[in-house]
């Protein structure tokens, strides 16, 4: 029984992911080492990756993993501007192979890039990414932590989707690249609970114990995430907002952000 398995081993799985994120895959600020890339260019890339995820009907896991792979790679290796989209496509390919039962084909990724790259270039970039990451792509992501915390906190589907919207919106922003995925997930869920006006002390106490983060410790990050949602979306970066404005996602993107008084 899968539910019984998760209930018995969930704490162990969560603690293992915490240990993994702190031992490996540390992402540092890297823009000073990437003279041809800007935070806005990274945001455009991530926005495009979200669109590709939707076009290929991928689950959320490959998207979060792919963004993490991009940031890990850029933390350790130079990437010219004209190969940034190739890096994003390759990261999605690797992540889909790892997370999906039936991942898209290489030719699918070449097509989605308007065939500006060759098969050889994509496969060569795949080898390069795997080499830089030492072939270890089992990377804990904010989505993994968010799923565990939402289940542990027994939050509604609508609140979980709102937390996913917060968390996914943060993927666009370079300012969050150094934030631990577990912390980003916990802060996103805290903000979503507050936005839905369903702050339950029992739920928050359970999350405190389970996540290792107190609500007080997350306060600064929650405020920053709320500010991110308050910003008017760039016309070139509207895929996530449009996605979560759909009825399939309970139109959670239309939920008002918090006022300073509410924070």
Is residue 108 predicted with pLDDT exceeding 60?
Answer: yes
Residue 225 vs residue 202, higher pLDDT: 225
Q: Mean pLDDT, to the nearest integer, of 234-260? A: 93
- How much is the pTM? 0.92
What is the token pair recorded at 54?
A: 């939707």
What's the rounded Cα separation, in Å, for the pair 259 and 194? 11
Q: Mean pLDDT, to the nearest integer, of 239-244? A: 96
Report yes or no: 260 and 230 within 8 Å, Cβ to Cβ.
no
Grade residue 242 by pLDDT with cuts at 50, 70 and 90.
very high
What does the pLDDT read at residue 1?
A: 42
Q: Which domains does the chain have, with CATH numbers?
A: 26-132 (1.10.472.10), 142-254 (1.10.472.10)
What's the rounded Cα separation, in Å, for the pair 52 and 109? 9
**Distance between first and last Cα of the chain:** 41
Three-state secondary structure readout of the chain: CHHHHHHHHHHHHHHHHHHHHHHCCCCCCCHHHCCCCCHHHHHHHHHHHHHHHHHCCCCHHHHHHHHHHHHHHHHHCCCCHHHHHHHHHHHHHHHHHHHCCCCCCHHHHHHHCCCCCCHHHHHHHHHHHHHHCCCCCCCCCHHHHHHHHHHHHCCCHHHHHHHHHHHHHHHCCHHHCCCCHHHHHHHHHHHHHHHCCCCCHHHHHHHHHHHCCCCCCCHHHHHHHHHHHHCCCCCCCCHHHHHCCCHHHCCHHHCCCCCCCCC
What's the rounded Cα separation, in Å, for the pair 92 and 132? 16
What's the rounded Cα separation, in Å, for the pair 215 and 205? 9
What does the pLDDT read at residue 45?
A: 98
Is residue 107 predicted with pLDDT exceeding 80?
Answer: yes
**pLDDT tens, 8-29?**
777 888 888 988 887 766 688 9
Is residue 5 predicted with pLDDT exceeding 80?
Answer: no
**pLDDT tens, 109-137?**
999 999 999 999 999 999 999 999 999 89
**pLDDT tens, 27-82?**
889 999 999 999 999 999 999 999 999 999 999 999 999 999 999 999 999 999 99
CA nearest to 164, candidates 182, 183, 142? 142
* CA distances from residue 181 to 77, 170, 188, 235 in whole angstroms, order as listed: 21, 11, 10, 27
């Amino acid at each position: 029984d899968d539910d019984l398995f998760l209930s018995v081993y969930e704490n162990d799985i969560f603690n293992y992911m915490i240990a993994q994120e702190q031992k490996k895959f540390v992402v540092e600020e890297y823009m000073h080492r990437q003279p041809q890339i800007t935070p806005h260019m990274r945001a455009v890339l991530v926005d495009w990756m979200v669109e590709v995820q939707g076009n290929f009907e991928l689950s959320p896991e490959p998207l979060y993993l792919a963004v993490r792979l991009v940031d890990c790679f850029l933390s350790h290796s130079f990437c010219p501007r004209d190969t940034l989209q190739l890096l994003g496509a390759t990261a999605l390919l690797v992540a889909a192979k790892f997370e999906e039962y039936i991942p898209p084909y290489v030719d699918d990724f070449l097509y989605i890039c308007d065939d500006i790259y060759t098969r050889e270039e994509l496969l060569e970039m795949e080898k390069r990414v795997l080499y830089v990451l030492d072939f270890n792509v089992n990377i804990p992501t904010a989505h993994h932590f968010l799923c565990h915390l939402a289940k542990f906190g027994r939050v509604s589907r609508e609140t979980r989707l709102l937390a996913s919207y917060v968390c996914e919106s943060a993927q666009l922003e370079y300012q969050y690249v150094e934030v631990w995925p577990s912390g980003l997930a916990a802060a996103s869920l805290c903000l979503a609970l507050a936005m839905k006006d369903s702050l339950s002390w029992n739920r928050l106490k359970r999350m405190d114990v389970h996540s290792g983060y107190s609500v007080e410790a997350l306060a600064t990050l929650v405020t920053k995430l709320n500010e991110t949602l308050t910003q008017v979306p760039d016309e070139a970066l509207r895929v996530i907002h449009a996605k979560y404005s759909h009825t399939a996602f309970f139109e959670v993107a239309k939920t008002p952000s918090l006022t300073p008084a509410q924070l």
